[in-house]
Amino acid sequence: MDKARFDYLFVSDLHISQGYDAERRAYHPREDFVFDEPFFRWLCWMDENCAPGKRWELVFVGDAFDFLPFDEELARRYLREKESRSGPLPTYWQQQFSAPPADPDAERLQRLLFEDDLLAGRLCLKPAEAAPAFAPLPNLPPWAVELHDRYQPPGKKSPALGLSALTLAEGEARPVEHNEAFERRYGFLPTPEKSADKVDVIYQGHPLFFRALARFVSRGHRVVFVRGNHDLELYWPAVQQRIRDCIEREVRAGLGIPAGQPLPCDLDQQVDFSPGWFYYRKGLFYAEHGKQYEPLDAVPNPIRPVMADDEWMLNPPVGSLAVTCIHTRLEDEYPEWENRGQAASAMLELIRRYPWQALSIILRHGIDFMWMARRLWRAGQGKEQGPGEEDLKHQAKVSGLDPQLIRSIYEAMARPLLLNRPLAWFLFSPLGHALKAVLIVAAVALVVFWYVAAVPWLAALIPAGFPSAALGPALRRLAEIVLWFGPFLLLSRALQQRAVRMGHDPYLSRAVRRIHAHLATHDPALRFYIMGHTHYTEADLVERRADGNHVYYLNTGCWFVEFAEDARRLQTVGQEVQFTFVRLLSGDGGVQADLLRWNDEAGRVERQMLPPARRTRALQQWSRLR
């Protein structure tokens, strides 16, 4: 493939999830992306406005999808079926496979349960003569063989005897800790098949989005997905193939190509998934989502993000656990809360407006979050969780960079919370909980001492006759009021200011400068660093050069509703959505990149407007909080 014939589009943070429910005639309350039609029209416009002799490569810079919300009804059916099974499992599956499933959901349940049994080693496929207790399965579905072979070492894959010559037998059980109580409350754990099943849910809720991608690739363009913190599941080959299958289905429907006939486009080449955490083209750009520079959202091994003791389970960041346990529950009650700016500021505003309801949700589900985070922390103790030499060599092979250079870029990241041993110990260990309890008791004692002893004593320092017998008692009462409410107001203001500083901390700009310090000598022509994650569009000068070919950091923003008044009027010309993207063009005049927005009402692309400075935006956000 000739990469020189491509120009590039970058978009991120669509957060495509469960989408539109045709039965309910409504979008799911946890859905953020409700703009399938504008996205389709945007890609059509870009296709029509491609440079002569060029095609586009559309790069999703992380969080194109959101795998964290879950299908509650399917999870309930899955657990009911799992609990109702009895007797030998091969017998159960003999009965399940004796006839085709009654509906598509029944097949989904079969695949999920079959994966569970394979991962736990409770089942295996054998030639019928090797397991005489069970007859061959003439109706053994091909997907069962595919799942079986996925989880087997090379020497134990199913014999090439044909489906009718295979049967199921009991396997060698192995310890697998999949917490069913957690799945009952918060959805499926991120194994390959359970993650791939979510792709089907996303496709059902957003067929037009996949239709847009299908039309795009059928016209000769390419699509590349980079992993973010909300779509870490893109790591699984099963998820990647399921996305290609959905796009292929739409290509065939759009072009009228029956199943079995070849497509006019090669989806394996035109729909790609960037390994590791970044996507790099020498002399053109360096793109990554940006999650690795926030301790809550960083994963220990961004190249191979699996558990240290279980290669078939993703190792999610602590922030994803918080979203799963707390964020989605808040969104069920207050669907608009996360669209009101940065999470820390929005959380404080939510608590201020609905204190008892919000705190009740946070405390009730926060216990589950702490418990699951502790399990993750304990699972990684004493194990090397960062990328190994083989991981670095693999990333080097696909990116063209030296393994040691990739190691240097990795070391420029923020340290994931669970790898910060003192902090993780304090937050999640039993002794840490005891220390927190001691600190809470000490804080309560200090508060009691302040209000019971310190306030009356300090107020009594004002003489009763100062400056007169009439005013003295009033001044004492006024001092007591100030001493009673002053600390609370000061603490509240400090928390709000801290939230604003955290929400508008330019940590990605600083991260880009650290990355550029490593890449500048290897690739002097590299000028553009592109990220997402923050949901704010940004353009920052990284290095000023004498020849005018300056180095820039560009943030693509997001594609869902944003109610933050301080950013909306300027950045989106009064609209509540940004529809922003980065366009990179290369030609005789060199490489140029622009931060643009799709004006869906006018049907054209426009330049994106930015606030004059981060400090202005922070001050406006602070004014809104007050």
Higher pLDDT, 134 or 380: 380
pLDDT at residue 185 in the model: 79
List the beta bridge partners of residue 11. 60
pTM for this one? 0.87
Predicted confidence (pLDDT) per residue in 321-360, tens digit? 888 888 777 777 776 666 655 665 667 667 777 777 778 8
Helix, coil or strand: residue 518: helix
Exposure on the CB side of residue 159, measured as CA atoms within 13 A: 12
Q: Which residues touch 360 (CB under 8 Å, ≥6 apart)?
A: none
Helices 403-411 + 389-399 axis angle, to 10: 110
Q: What are phi and psi of 137, to 5 degrees?
A: -110, 95
Q: Which amino acid is at 459?
A: A
Q: What is the CA radius of gyration of the chain?
A: 28
Q: Which residues touch 45 (CB under 8 Å, ≥6 apart)?
A: 598, 603, 604, 605
Asked if residue 615 has pLDDT above 50, the reply is: no
Predicted confidence (pLDDT) per residue in 273-320, tens digit? 998 899 999 999 999 999 999 998 999 999 999 988 888 889 999 888
* Pair 184, 75: CB distance under 8 Å: yes
Q: Are strands 306-307 and 537-543 parallel, antiparallel or unpaired?
A: unpaired
Other Cβ atoms closer than 10 A to 309: 13
Q: Which amino acid is at 474?
A: A
Helical ranges in 256-354 per DSSP H:
267-270, 318-322, 328-333, 343-353
Which letter does DSSP use for residue 292 in this model? Answer: G
Q: Which residue has the tokens 């005489």?
A: 132
Mean pLDDT calculated for residue range 32-36: 89
> Which band of pLDDT confidence, cut at 50, 70 and 90, is reported for residue 626?
very low
Q: Which residue has the tokens 């194109």?
A: 64
Asked if residue 159 has pLDDT above 90, the reply is: no
Rounded Cα–Cα distance for residues 323 and 316 (Å)? 11
pLDDT at residue 161 in the model: 52
Helix, coil or strand: residue 69: coil
CA 340 distance to own-chain centroid? 19
pLDDT at residue 493 in the model: 76
Helices 421-428 + 430-449 axis angle, to 10: 70
Asked if residue 262 has pLDDT above 70, the reply is: yes
Rounded Cα–Cα distance for residues 28 and 200 (Å)? 15
Helix, coil or strand: residue 326: helix
Rounded Cα–Cα distance for residues 427 and 386 (Å)? 21
Rounded Cα–Cα distance for residues 46 and 467 (Å)? 78
The H or E element spanning position 614 is: helix 614-625
List the beta bridge partners of residue 528. 285, 552
Rounded Cα–Cα distance for residues 196 and 69 (Å)? 14
Predicted confidence (pLDDT) per residue in 520-540, tens digit? 999 999 999 999 998 888 899
Q: How many residues does the chain have?
A: 626
Predicted confidence (pLDDT) per residue in 371-402, tens digit? 888 888 887 777 788 888 999 999 999 889 99
Asked if residue 570 has pLDDT above 50, the reply is: no
CA distances from 147 to 123, 150, 192, 216 (A): 11, 5, 10, 31
* Pair 229, 317: CB distance under 8 Å: yes
